[in-house]
Amino acid sequence: MLSILIAFMVLAPPQDGSQLYRDNCARCHGQDGNGIPGVDFRTGQFRRPSTDDDLMRIIAGGIPGTAMSPSSLPDAARRSLVDFLRSMPNSAGASAGGGDAARGRTVFEGQGGCTSCHRANGKGSRTGPDLGDAGSNRRAADIERSILNPNAAILPQNRTVRATAADGSTITGRRLNEDTDTIQLIDDRERLVSLSKATLREFTVLKTSPMPSFQGKLTPQELADVIAYLLSLKGPTP
Amino acid sequence: MMPIETARAVMIRIFILFLLSGTLYAQVTSERLLHPEREPQNWLSYSGSYSSQRYSTLDQITRDNAKNLELKWVFQSRSLEKFEATPLVVDGVMYLTQPPNDVVALDAKTGRAFWIYEYKPAADARLCCGQVNRGLGILGDTLFMGTIDAHLLAIDAKTGKPIWNVEVGSAKAGYAITHAPLVVKNTVIVGVAGGEYGIRGFVAAYDAATGKEKWKFYTIPGPGETGHDTWEGDSWQHGGAPVWITGSYDPDLNLTYWGVGNPGPDWNGDDREGDNLYSDSVIALDADTGKLKWHFQFTPHDEYDFDAVQIPVLVDTEWEGVPRKLMMWANRNGFFYVLDRVNGKFLWGSPFVKVTWATGLDKNGRPIPAPNTKPTREGVKVYPGNQGATNWFSPSYSPRTKLFYIPTWADYFSVYTKTSTPFQEGRFYLGGLPRSAIPMMVRGAVKTWTEEDGYGSFIAIDPRTGEKKWEFKMNDVTDSGLLTTASDVLFGGGREGHFYALDARDGKVLWKASLGGMVDSGAITFKAGETQYVSVAAGQSLFTFALRN
């Protein structure tokens, strides 16, 4: 191709430990730190290291013979990561464990009716948030809260927008983005739509979730199964 | 019972709704990809069409009103890498890559984001020349992106979520994907970069729905295959011949066309005696099987790094009084070629810049080497220089003017020096180093060379005669692609950070914007609502223009 190596020295901005964890660790260790059998960061106990420096060394050098590969993260980033690991025992979800992912998938795609709004494994509507990688970016406790109390869990960017155009036609969708003059949403026909607020007759952002609460509609076991299923969704890997 | 007139009105409204839903929001079918001319408001593939002419039938922006172009919006990337991407525009939504491998969906009218997908390439990805990406392919509601760590990803165009992810090559061995995938029928086709790392290049096809590999064609023939004997010893195993720019496609012939890059090591051919097929060639591959139909090698046994990694431009026109399927090719080696794309027959060729490494082309299009121009340990001065007379930058062909437009590095040379480089997997495998006064990759804050070292230009040539109809000269060189429109406006930029609208008939400047960063991509044009827009990346941002309201 071309000829000369251009080395770009880019100074990385400071990152918080939770972000570093999500980017570098969660795919294997899970959002809750218990993704690998026998390893559970929430206990505050580590099989090999005991000090922060031990943890720093393992993050840098990996563990030979295991999937734990070496990392090139700079010292400051590894220190932030260790700080986050030490804080994890306080952040475990209440519903972790006990569920069966295969049964959860049956509920998700069947009686739960989840795919009428959500998408996972290539199935379901896109009108609600895509959950195909829920296990990479959500904790069990977050998922449980979303299922039992959607109004408390809905993210700002997912709020429902109802707009009436100048000609009286209505548009309903899930908010994806917004600025002073415009709003971007995915509508109920799964179209990406950008609206100019100045052209709308009326425009409302609902603070409640369109998702019903499943409190009392799923048995505790079904709830645990669905959570286990969603935690198993890590997105595609080669 | 509904009155007949009312019933008719309802039917008409339903029909209009059907049309709207069918044309504005339908999935991008393979049929739509075959006929982009039916929807010039969109830009559905890297080169705008399978023929890769980078020509649009939109004509709202004219030679008369181009002076009224103004900035409408800017997308600022969060990357310091070169911004080489061509966006796609589908029914009012723009899909763009942010280097190296993030994907964003933007409202084409305002530039506001619908979603962003952030991909983290493996840390051991190896790139010779920047962590770049040139764009996406689309089929249905799925986007396709090759990554610098040599993966191919399918991404949901509505949500930005990945659907599948396959490893195409080994990143740590130097394989990478930098170009926009070519989507043909239900197949996604990509090639691999890595010509500076001793890879063995290939083009591979994947099922769009599942990511399953359908076929793979090695650009260096293996033992027992035709052309294997054009490589000395085991040099074929790490002879490069990468593919890092999007191919073209002829649906009638069912052939895909790919430009293949340099043999390795780049500047020392001592250990790879022979023509080194199919390096520096265009290859015609059956879209369904990957079988080679024909090839044409521009630079046999290359020792200058003259990748044939240019866009194959397909033109159907009369040639010597007979309608013919042509391929036009402005090559990095300094020659312009016209081929018959049915069989690869060489029809005509001529230099379009100063060329000293060859004295001309023989009747079959094979270059006639000039004496004493091979790289030496002491260094030898040769035109064109290492970055070539042109490079991966998209040319344009206008069926209106019937001219072929080329971004060029003119009167530009390098001193080519050869050294010895043993092969080691994942390490540079160069065999020398060319030196030029003009920086190879990036212009600095100030100009550090002279007019004797070369200059940049857009040239318009008559592909029948090679006659240069006009030349638009720039002080600095250009890495910009070109775009022409049905109103005879040509858009292009350069390393100085200027972006121009020129009169495609005579090269006169109609309008100019100073964008403050190198233009490293080709502009596109599209329509959102009733307005025609033009978008181009420069520096670390994508700029979008339209006529003043």
Measured between CB atoms, which of A184, A191, A237 is closest to B112?
Answer: A184
Percent with pLDDT over 70 in chain B: 95
The secondary structure of B235-274 as a DSSP string is GGGG-B----S--EEETTTTEEEEE---BSSTT--TTS-S
CA angle A102, A107, A111 (to 5 degrees): 155
Reading the block at residue A199, the tokens are 């052209």
Q: What is the model's pLDDT at position A129? A: 94
Q: What is the model's pLDDT at position A140? A: 87
- Non-local (6+) Cβ contacts of B154 within 8 A are B142, B143, B144, B162, B163, B164, B165, B188, B208, B211
Residues from chain A that touch B92, judged by Cβ atoms under 8 A, are 192, 194
Q: What is the mean pLDDT of residues B316-326?
A: 96
Q: What is the model's pLDDT at position A157? A: 81
Q: Is A197 on the interface with B (CB under 8 A)?
A: no
| Cβ–Cβ < 8 Å for B100, B77 | no
pLDDT mean across residues, chain A: 84
For the cut 60, the answer to whether the pLDDT of residue B21 exceeds it is no
Residue at token pair 């490589």: B231
Looking at per-residue confidence, does B348 or B18 come out higher?
B348
- What ipTM does the predicted assembly reach? 0.88
Would the CB atoms of A194 and B128 count as touching at under 8 Å?
no
Q: Is A43 on the interface with B (CB under 8 A)?
A: no
Q: What is the mean pLDDT of residues B511-524?
A: 97
Beta strands in chain A (DSSP E): 119-120, 123-124, 160-165, 170-178, 182-187, 192-196, 200-205
Beta strands in B352-423 (DSSP E): 358-361, 367-369, 380-382, 396-398, 403-410, 414-418
For the cut 50, the answer to whether the pLDDT of residue B1 exceeds it is no
Would the CB atoms of B110 and A130 count as touching at under 8 Å?
no
Buried b (16+ CB within 10 A) or exposed e, B258-291: bbbbbbbbbbbbebbebbbbbbbbbbbbebeebe
Q: What is the model's pLDDT at position A6? A: 36
Measured between CB atoms, which of B159, B262, B386 is closest to A126?
Answer: B159
Q: What is the mean pLDDT of residues B144-172?
A: 97
The secondary structure of residue A129, as a DSSP letter, is P
- Out of B102, B305, B476, B488, the active site residue is B305
| Cβ–Cβ < 8 Å for B238, B429 | yes
User: Is the Cα dihedral B329, B335, B339, B341 positive or negative?
Assistant: negative
Instruction: Grade residue A20 by pLDDT with cuts at 50, 70 and 90.
Output: confident
Looking at per-residue confidence, does A159 or B24 come out higher?
A159
| Cβ–Cβ < 8 Å for B316, B306 | no
Residue to substitute from B110, B134, B309, B433, interface A, most A β-carbons within 10 A: B110
- Secondary structure, 3-state, B141-183: CEEEEECCCCEEEEEECCCCCEEEEEECCCHHHCCECCCCCEE
pLDDT in tens, B127-145: 998 999 999 999 999 999 9
User: Can you list the domains of chain A with their CATH numbers?
Assistant: 17-90 (1.10.760.10), 101-149+212-232 (1.10.760.10), 156-205 (2.30.30.100)
**Closest Cα to residue A236, out of B114, B158, B156?**
B156
Q: What is the model's pLDDT at position B544? A: 98
| Cβ–Cβ < 8 Å for A78, A85 | no
pLDDT in tens, B177-230: 999 999 999 999 999 999 999 999 999 999 999 999 999 999 999 999 999 999
CA angle B427, B433, B438 (to 5 degrees): 120
Q: Which residue of B has its CA nearest to A176?
A: B114
Q: What is the model's pLDDT at position A66? A: 82
A220 alpha carbon, distance to own chain's centre: 22
Would the CB atoms of A179 and B112 count as touching at under 8 Å?
yes
Would the CB atoms of B164 and A5 count as touching at under 8 Å?
no
Between CA B245 and CA B312 the distance in angstroms is: 10
**Closest Cα to residue B264, out of B200, B333, B216?**
B200
Q: Phi/psi at B294 (nearest 5 deg)?
A: -160, 165
Q: What is the model's pLDDT at position A13? A: 44
First to last CA, chain A: 27
In this structure, of A91-105, B32-46, B471-485, the range with the lowest mean pLDDT score is: A91-105
For the cut 70, the answer to whether the pLDDT of residue A233 exceeds it is yes
Beta strands in B331-450 (DSSP E): 335-340, 345-351, 358-361, 367-369, 380-382, 396-398, 403-410, 414-418, 432-435
Measured between CB atoms, which of B113, B167, B194 is closest to A177?
Answer: B113
Residue to substitute from B153, B155, B158, B168, interface A, most A β-carbons within 10 A: B158
| Tally of residues, chain B | 549
pLDDT mean across residues, chain B: 94
User: Is the Cα dihedral B297, B425, B236, B357 positive or negative?
Assistant: positive
Would the CB atoms of A177 and B166 count as touching at under 8 Å?
no
CA distance A161 to chain B (A): 14
| Cβ–Cβ < 8 Å for B416, B359 | no
For the cut 80, the answer to whether the pLDDT of residue A10 exceeds it is no
- Non-local (6+) Cβ contacts of B5 within 8 A are none
Between CA B495 and CA B87 the distance in angstroms is: 20
Residues from chain A that touch B164, judged by Cβ atoms under 8 A, are 236
For the cut 60, the answer to whether the pLDDT of residue B12 exceeds it is no
Q: Residue B362 in 3-state DSSP?
A: coil
For the cut 70, the answer to whether the pLDDT of residue B27 exceeds it is yes
* Residue B305 known to be catalytic: yes
pLDDT in tens, B421-472: 899 999 999 999 999 999 988 888 888 899 899 999 999 999 999 999 999 9
Residues from chain A that touch B193, judged by Cβ atoms under 8 A, are 1
Would the CB atoms of A182 and B112 count as touching at under 8 Å?
yes
| Tally of residues, chain A | 238
Instruction: Grade residue B46 by pLDDT with cuts at 50, 70 and 90.
Output: very high
pLDDT in tens, A69-100: 888 888 888 888 887 787 675 544 445 568 99
Would the CB atoms of B161 and A119 count as touching at under 8 Å?
yes
| Cβ–Cβ < 8 Å for B446, B426 | no
Between CA B263 and CA A124 the distance in angstroms is: 48
**Closest Cα to residue B479, out of B397, B409, B384, B404?**
B409
Q: What is the model's pLDDT at position A94? A: 42
Q: Which residue of B has its CA nearest to A235?
A: B162
In this structure, of B9-13, B85-89, B436-440, B447-451, the range with the lowest mean pLDDT score is: B9-13
Looking at per-residue confidence, does B497 or A75 come out higher?
B497
